[in-house]
Amino acid sequence: MEVIKIKGTDDTPTIILDKENGIFEISGRSLPEDVTTFYEPILNWLEDYQEEANDQTVFSFKLVYFNTASSKLILDILMKLEEMHENGKSVLIKWYFPEDDEDMEEAGEEYADIVDVPFEQVSYTL
């Protein structure tokens, strides 16, 4: 599978989807002008990845900010991961948040309540 590497900007997150090296990560800020167009290749990649997923998938979210439009697409990504989990694949979601950012911590908790996937909250110091 082709590796997706998107370098983040002030408005878009850094994205790495690398099946061979087992790196699945979205980090930075997510407020793209056209959120659907931005996230479509990621959702398509995950759809393809499901067919031949690694034995273990650890997907890391290291976002410092995302807007409302992005929150829906993040949920779509989580739902794809939930599908893989339901199909017997080992999936772990790691939700990183700055230790003093209650909003990002709560966002992770809310997502963890919505999807039925092992979910780990990880706080860090900026």
Q: pLDDT (tens digit, 9 = 90+) per residue, 61-71?
A: 999 999 999 99
Cβ-Cβ contacts under 8 Å for 30 (sequence gap 6 or more): 12, 13, 63, 65, 66, 67, 70, 74
Domains of the chain, by residue range, sit at: 4-124
> What is the 8-class DSSP label of residue 12?
S
User: What is the C-alpha separation between 25 and 47, in angstroms, rounded?
Assistant: 16
pLDDT of residue 110 exceeding 90, the answer is: yes
Residue 75: alpha-carbon gap to chain centroid: 8
pLDDT of residue 102 exceeding 80, the answer is: yes
If you classify domain 4-124 with CATH, what class do you get? alpha beta
Indicate the SS3 state at residue 8.
coil
Number of helices (H), then strands (E), belonging to the chain: the values are 3, 6
pLDDT of residue 104 exceeding 90, the answer is: yes
pLDDT of residue 126 exceeding 80, the answer is: no
Q: Are strands 56-66 and 23-30 parallel, antiparallel or unpaired?
A: parallel
